[in-house]
Amino acid sequence: MRKTLLIIRREYLSRVKKKSFLLMTILVPLLFMGMTGLVAYLTHTGGDAITEVAVIDKSGFFLPQLKNSKSLIFLPTAEEFSDAKLRAREDGSFVLFIPKDIGDQSQVQLVSEKKAPMFITNEIENQINNILRTKHLQEAGIDIATLERIKPNVSIEYKELTDEGEKKTDTKAAYAISFAAAILIYICLFIYGAQVMRGVIEEKTSRIVEVIISSVKPFQLMLGKIIGIGMVGLTQFLLWVTLSYLATKITDVQALPMLSALQTIPVGYILVTFLAYFLGGYLLYSALFAAVGSAVDNETETQQFMFPITLPLLFTYIMAFSFIVNNPNSTLSFWLSMIPFTSPIAMMVRIPFGVPDWQLYLSITFLIAGFIFTTWVAARIYRVGILMYGKKSSYRELLKWFLYKE
């Protein structure tokens, strides 16, 4: 036990003391802060470009009623349409032509040397249709003041029925968190799993492994490495969460609709479940990564063994975005969030939409059983693999190692 602790300590400290760890820890929240800042900036200004549209209104009816917006300005012009077209070809400006007799089905023309952005055509269509509709309503004898008054403005406020009563939820925020959690778990399982694998390969190629396992059991070495690196991951997370929290305090992101929507989500609950699934998934997969590392002599040989490890993760990752996020409570989503190999990602996608407690406990129980199983399998391969030098190993070889007695 004391020896395992020594190994954990070395694995942890040797990584945390590295400059790259410090860099990652500081850089990621800074990036996060920078990204939110950029998003805030862009949504507030909506882009600086102002588009001018020259209007030739043969009817004379629309021009006075067209309203300028922040990014769109209408300018009257006395030119003929043909002259205006020629000019537009040269200076790239927009020309809007409204014919004299304009019925409900007729078309106005917008010409320009380049393609008109969607927001410009939408805006112009909306305005002209509104002007026409108002005109027709007036002609039908409806008072504009009355019309303004009765304009309804209904939006959906979605409330979930829970044991604690009605709960206000925001599906958009749930989506956002689902996506973020799935991506984060997926990336982290690979980053830290690969670190375990590289650590094993390093010990094997530098031949120190034989010195170490003449002092401790191979299982202790493997476990110590897995736990040590897992703690590095946890440390990094906690630092990120803390730093990101501080970062959001500084940048005052309350103004952002997306982040203020986060307030309707139980952040603490999600954080705890995230850590649980990260840890469980990490323990499950890193044991397999360790077994792969023990079976090879260098990193390029790992490819053939990586496929079966990558497959369930990639599958769930794709399922997460194409299916689970839209059907979080379907049977398929349920099973994906129960199977230990897929549950870390699948369950994290479901959680923001609400998951019954019993499912959560069952899934975590399976996950724990899963990583005990993979650790057992991996340890049997590992103990033989680390002493096999210069041998190209195959799946058959791995099976043979697994079946060796003691």
Question: Which residues contact another protein (rule: CB under 8 A)?
Answer: 3, 6-7, 10, 14, 202-203, 206-216, 387, 389, 400, 405-406
Say how far apart CA 16 and CA 22 lie, in whole Å: 7
C-alpha distances in Å from residue 49, one per residue of 45, 69, 70, 71, 163: 10, 12, 9, 6, 50
Question: From the CB of 364, what's the least distance to another protein, in Å?
Answer: 34
Question: From the CB of 9, what's the least distance to another protein, in Å?
Answer: 9
Question: From the CB of 295, what's the least distance to another protein, in Å?
Answer: 15
Give the nearer residue to another protein in terms of CB position, either 26 or 208.
208
C-alpha distances in Å from residue 239, one per residue of 29, 233, 346: 9, 10, 25
Give the nearer residue to another protein in terms of CB position, either 120 or 384.
384
Instruction: Find the angle CA(160)-CA(162)-CA(165) to the nearest 5 degrees.
Output: 95
Compute the residue count for the chain: 406
Question: From the CB of 389, what's the least distance to another protein, in Å?
Answer: 7
The label of the residue with tokens 């209408």 reads: 74
Say how far apart CA 23 and CA 340 lie, in whole Å: 33
Give the nearer residue to another protein in terms of CB position, either 18 or 70.
18
**CB contact burial 90-117 (16+ within 10 A = b; e otherwise):** eeebbbbbbeeebeeeeebebbbeeebe
In degrees and rounded to multiples of 5, residue 166 shows phi and psi of -75, 140
Give the nearer residue to another protein in terms of CB position, either 143 or 210.
210
Give the nearer residue to another protein in terms of CB position, either 49 or 403.
403
Give the nearer residue to another protein in terms of CB position, either 65 or 299.
299
Cβ contact 282:59 at 8 Å = no
**CB contact burial 262-291 (16+ within 10 A = b; e otherwise):** beebeeeebeebbebbbbbbbbbbbbbbbb
Give the nearer residue to another protein in terms of CB position, either 21 or 119.
21
Specify the 3-state DSSP secondary structure of 269. helix
Question: From the CB of 385, what's the least distance to another protein, in Å?
Answer: 13
Question: From the CB of 207, what's the least distance to another protein, in Å?
Answer: 3
Question: From the CB of 225, what's the least distance to another protein, in Å?
Answer: 12
C-alpha distances in Å from residue 374, one per residue of 196, 288, 343: 14, 7, 15
Question: From the CB of 211, what's the least distance to another protein, in Å?
Answer: 6
Give the nearer residue to another protein in terms of CB position, either 278 or 401.
401
Say how far apart CA 85 and CA 79 lie, in whole Å: 10
Question: From the CB of 223, what's the least distance to another protein, in Å?
Answer: 14
Give the nearer residue to another protein in terms of CB position, either 168 or 217.
217
Token output for 306: 């990586």
Say how far apart CA 363 and CA 279 lie, in whole Å: 13
